Amino acid sequence: MYFSEKEKEPPVNEFTIKRTVKTIQPFDNLYIWVTSIDEKTQKVFTTSSSLSSDYINIVSYIVDKDGYINFPFVGQINLRGLTLQEAKTKIQEKAGEYFPKIEITVKFVNNKVTVLGEVARPGAYSFAKDQLTIFEALGLAGGATIYGKKNKVILIREKDNKVNYNYLDLTKKDIVSSDYYFIIPNDIIVIKPVKARFRSLNLLNWSLVLSTITTGVTLYLIFYKNN
């Protein structure tokens, strides 16, 4: 069970959460929507808030390995390490030198989280929000199986060209105060199996071996008697 720790006296049921804010990293996909009350400027950036998700993916900007995007008429803009709000401000300042009275919206596209191990449906899952909680991410994969080890869940996160492995205990209530309670795009969650899983697999393997031997012996005796 989640939150299965033994309660203290009195139980603590309120915690302060820490919202992890994803910063822009190389190879992120960004959708940048430009609006303006100036008709000529608006025609240059023919985007709309009602565009399909497929089209948004096509027109998204890919951040290069050094953290730059190539923005129309402006050129190279370095967004590495910035939050979406900071990126919006920077792009708006740069583009504002060429296009007056514009408003910029910046979003991550192709957000996904990968959930592996002892869950009902392992795989990579897309999500629209900038953040998910770890429980929402596990919910996408159908939750942990009865063999899932919930007190040592691995969360893999890449940042600044470094990959960090973090171990989380989902049986404790104070998980909500962890820096990794909120999942950000491209995180990987791994639910390790408990030892009982290995024992059950070993028993299954021995059952298959014994069944194969028994079948072989039976067929041999039948063949021997008939001859």
Question: pLDDT tens-digit profile of 193-203?
Answer: 987 655 555 55
- Contacts of residue 63, Cβ cutoff 8 Å, sequence gap at least 6: 24, 25, 26, 27, 28, 29, 30, 69, 79, 80
Strand partners, 162: 159
Does the pLDDT of residue 82 top 90, yes or no?
yes
pLDDT digits (tens, 9 = 90+) for 97-146: 888 788 888 988 888 999 999 999 999 998 877 778 999 999 999 999 99
Residues 32-40 have a mean pLDDT of 81
Size of the chain in residues: 227
Helix (H, G, I), strand (E, B) or coil at 41: helix
